[in-house]
Chains A and B, each alone.
Chain A
Amino acid sequence: MSSKYTLTAALLALIPTSAALAQQDQWTNFHGNAMAQKYSASEQITPENVHKLEKAWEIHTGDVSDGSGDIPGTVWSATPILANDLLYVGTPFYRVYAVQPDTGEVVWTYDPETALEPLTQPELKNRGVSYWEDPEGTGPCAKRVYIGTMDAHLHALDADTGELCQDFGENGILNVNQWNKPDANFPLSQLQPPTVFRDKLLLGWAGKDWYSVENPLGSVFAIDARTGEREWSFYSIPEGYEGTTGTANVWTAMSVDEENGLVYVPVSSPSADYYGGTRLEEIPLATSVTALNGDTGEVEWSRQLVHHDIWDYDTVSAPTLVDIPGEGGSTPALVQPTKMGFAFVLNRLTGEPVFPIEEREVPASDIEGEEASPTQPFPTLPEPTMGDDWDGIFGLADIASFGGCSRRLEELRYDGRYTPPSLEGTLAFPGTAGGMQWGGGAVDPETGIFYINSSRIAQIFQLIEREEYANLTTGGSEAEGGLFPMEGAPYGFRLSTFLNAMGMPCWKPPYGIMTAIDLKTGKNLWEVPFGQVQKWGFYMPESWGSPTIGGPVVTASGLIFIGASMDARVRALDASNGEVLWKAQVEAPAVSIPAVYDYEGRQYVVFAVGGNSIIKPQVGDQLIAFALPEE
């Protein structure tokens, strides 16, 4: 063979590889790709050179509020997406920014001019935008960006200009609330960007937790990405339950198996969240991971992760889809993280467990009218990120409170995992705020190793008889706890975190960890405390870790990028052992999933820095990109 032919053959051999890499190095989705892998094939930044990372650019959107004025506080959990040679991001004021991926220069912005009111959530929240390209389209709106609002509208924008696409909904805006029940007590808030499945957009919604028994029934709508017309609907609660329950909605992201035409929906718990006496009949799809036929919306399979959920253990994140490598071929799997600290590993085509799941007996309820499920599913592998028994009283906090923690514990009911809420107060470990949260995990599809951050938070769930509750004042937040009416139930509810009088956690650290799980064996490879707790500005020891909100990204070069921690730092970890190799201070906790992409030969890591009052009352509007120094 002549050298000319050799060269041609070599170039041809390179083409598919380069194309595949180019595809992978984009970040066109909330999770990087539709399979929710949060994996970047980029290899420019390595464990050896990551210490050289520096700020490449930053912008401030101005869309921030600490809640002290007329505008509610903001929670910014958006993942920027790279598509169409632009970086798109939504803000908590539901505006869209399109910026240059390498400089941060603003190309266009869009303002939906929506009311900035806490219609469902107590704070203004946004997790970003979605991007869709019409494979047959040319000209304006052949490429589109979508952003939702708390008042249940979805806006479709031309990706080049930011102009509304007039053929979508009504002049570019779709009223999703038209599919709500007429007398609904809240709108179907569009805080999570739509999930793109072929030419459809799949819409879940967020509601108002803990306020009432009767709520809109959980649903997912598939709409035409061009017109906004509804193509199918999925309901998680059977007909006939109206008036006795509601929600079991899909408020978080979904994942997509394009090849098999399946969409995976993480279904949350039904209302009332902490009392199930009005919904004693089974609701099999509640607190489940459910596979839908993406074309029809029909249920292909479903696996309930909590029976008769009375702990608000919503399925919080999109399952991560991965083909687990093995000697006899790969296993098409999904990993479903949960608030309980379990990661359920299932065959994603059948829903059958990859590692055995056992039904184990759990404590009974002592509440009149309540019938807790006698058993709950426990995956035998991987090991949970929080044990079945809580970690015990933290001696330092107990001493600092002159035994206050121990005295409070004696008043509480605690019979292990899944102890039902009670009148005296139940120690819930994990609480509704932990362990794995909506950021989910990241997987390296080459190695089959799954990385996930989780929190260890002890909370107190207390039911209050209606007559007594009537004398109390409703009010509080997921962050601070408080009183929630659960109207329609015979009990109101008090949520609090198990702290001493000084605000110190009464349970032993660490409060947040990062774990690596080998999906081939189900074994944990390593587990390290992650982040640092901060109080009044003072940093606590690294061994204490930090509660986290937001998720990680793993790169082919062996790095994990993550913000998420209370201490407002972003970090790069060595994927082989969890060691922190680089960190940088940002303006608030980066409670988002970072975006990692290559653009014109340079790898960027971008964080939306917005804060979340659940972990710290500090807000921000900083979009910051890091890269290696230009040579």
Chain B
Amino acid sequence: MPARLSPPNRAREELAGNLMAVPAAIGLVIAAVAFFRPGSGVDGTPGAALAILGMLALTVAALLAGRMQPGRLRTFITVMILIGGLLTLLCAWFLMQGWLMLTIVLTLAIWLIFILVAR
């Protein structure tokens, strides 16, 4: 059974998780606008819908990771954030959504911080 974290460590991890969720949530809004706004260039397309799903998953996963105790499940979710982030970044690149790409890069940058904090 993994050791429980001390309250200060726990708080830092939760903060890092929340911080990671902020750009992901902003990206979610950007992806939603791109999907729904006529004239965005990708409105109503499966690609934009995929970006929404990707950003939604990143946001939820970031919030979850910050609140979970260390263990296999958290490791799995942390790795999935990286993989999902990179795939969504690729998706945003092909959709030519620069602001969305920026939010994903920020999310992944904070993910690195989260990894350092969680070590």
* Chain A interface (Cβ < 8 Å from any Cβ of B): 536-539, 567-569, 585-587, 620, 622
Main secondary structure of the interface of B (DSSP, over half): loop
Residues of B within 8 A of A537 (CB): 41-42, 45-48, 95
Residues of B within 8 A of A569 (CB): 41
Main secondary structure of the interface of A (DSSP, over half): loop
Contact B47 A538 (CB under 8 A): yes
Residues of B within 8 A of A622 (CB): 39
Q: Which residue of A lies closest to B90 (CB)?
A: A538
Q: Which residue of A lies closest to B46 (CB)?
A: A536
Q: Which residue of A lies closest to B51 (CB)?
A: A537
Specify which of B39, B42, B46, B47 lies most central, judged by the most chain A CB atoms within 10 Å of its CB.
B39
Contact A585 B41 (CB under 8 A): yes
Residues of B within 8 A of A536 (CB): 45-47
4 shortest interchain CB distances as A-B pairs: A537-B45, A537-B47, A538-B94, A537-B42
A156: min CB distance to chain B, Å = 35
User: Does B38 reach chain A (CB closer than 8 Å)?
Assistant: yes
Residues of B within 8 A of A538 (CB): 47, 91, 94-95
Identify 22 residue pairs between A and B in the complex whose beta-carbon atoms are under 8 Å apart, listed by A's number. Answer: A537-B41, A537-B42, A537-B45, A537-B46, A537-B47, A537-B95, A538-B47, A538-B91, A539-B94, A539-B95, A539-B96, A567-B41, A568-B39, A568-B41, A569-B41, A585-B39, A585-B40, A586-B39, A587-B38, A587-B39, A620-B38, A622-B39
Residues of B within 8 A of A539 (CB): 94-96
Residues of B within 8 A of A585 (CB): 39-41
* Count: A-B pairs, CB below 8 Å: 29
A610: min CB distance to chain B, Å = 13
A502: min CB distance to chain B, Å = 13
Give the docked Cα–Cα distance between A435 and B95 (Å): 27
Type the 1/0 row for B60-101, where 1 means its CB is closer than 8 Å to any CB of A.
Answer: 000000000000000000000000000000010011100000
A584: min CB distance to chain B, Å = 10
Give the docked Cα–Cα distance between A59 and B104 (Å): 35
B116: min CB distance to chain A, Å = 34
Give the docked Cα–Cα distance between A587 and B38 (Å): 6
Residues of B within 8 A of A568 (CB): 39, 41
Q: Which residue of A lies closest to B96 (CB)?
A: A539
B71: min CB distance to chain A, Å = 37
Residues of B1-43 contacting chain A, CB below 8 A: 38-42
B74: min CB distance to chain A, Å = 33
B63: min CB distance to chain A, Å = 27
Residues of A within 8 A of B39 (CB): 568, 585-587, 622
A493: min CB distance to chain B, Å = 32
Residues of A within 8 A of B45 (CB): 536-537
Give the docked Cα–Cα distance between A587 and B41 (Å): 7
B25: min CB distance to chain A, Å = 22
Residues of A within 8 A of B96 (CB): 539
Residues of A within 8 A of B38 (CB): 587, 620
Give the docked Cα–Cα distance between A539 and B94 (Å): 5
Supply 17 further A-B pairs (C-beta < 8 A) apart from A536-B46, A568-B41: A536-B45, A536-B47, A537-B42, A537-B45, A537-B47, A537-B48, A537-B95, A538-B94, A538-B95, A539-B94, A539-B96, A567-B41, A568-B39, A569-B41, A586-B39, A587-B39, A622-B39
Q: Which residue of B lies closest to A587 (CB)?
A: B39
Q: Which residue of A lies closest to B40 (CB)?
A: A585
Q: Which residue of A lies closest to B35 (CB)?
A: A537
Q: Which residue of B lies closest to A567 (CB)?
A: B41
Give the docked Cα–Cα distance between A622 and B39 (Å): 10
Give the docked Cα–Cα distance between A586 and B91 (Å): 21
Give the docked Cα–Cα distance between A10 and B17 (Å): 75
Q: Which residue of B lies closest to A568 (CB)?
A: B41
Residues of B within 8 A of A620 (CB): 38
Residues of A within 8 A of B40 (CB): 585
Residues of A within 8 A of B41 (CB): 537, 567-569, 585
A58: min CB distance to chain B, Å = 10
Give the docked Cα–Cα distance between A523 and B39 (Å): 38
Give the docked Cα–Cα distance between A485 and B75 (Å): 62
Specify which of A536, A537, A585 lies most central, judged by the most chain B CB atoms within 10 Å of its CB.
A537
Give the docked Cα–Cα distance between A538 and B46 (Å): 9
B83: min CB distance to chain A, Å = 19
B86: min CB distance to chain A, Å = 16
A437: min CB distance to chain B, Å = 23
Residues of A within 8 A of B91 (CB): 538
Q: Which residue of B lies closest to A569 (CB)?
A: B41
Specify which of A536, A586, A620, A622 lies most central, judged by the most chain B CB atoms within 10 Å of its CB.
A536
B109: min CB distance to chain A, Å = 25
A407: min CB distance to chain B, Å = 28
Give the docked Cα–Cα distance between A587 and B96 (Å): 16
A164: min CB distance to chain B, Å = 34
A442: min CB distance to chain B, Å = 26
Give the docked Cα–Cα distance between A538 and B91 (Å): 8
Give the docked Cα–Cα distance between A515 and B51 (Å): 36
B87: min CB distance to chain A, Å = 13
Give the docked Cα–Cα distance between A622 and B94 (Å): 25
B68: min CB distance to chain A, Å = 34
Q: Which residue of B lies closest to A618 (CB)?
A: B44
A206: min CB distance to chain B, Å = 29
Give the docked Cα–Cα distance between A568 and B38 (Å): 11
Give the docked Cα–Cα distance between A622 and B38 (Å): 11
Give the docked Cα–Cα distance between A622 and B96 (Å): 22
Q: Which residue of B lies closest to A584 (CB)?
A: B39
Q: Which residue of B lies closest to A540 (CB)?
A: B94
Residues of A within 8 A of B95 (CB): 537-539
A571: min CB distance to chain B, Å = 13
A503: min CB distance to chain B, Å = 12
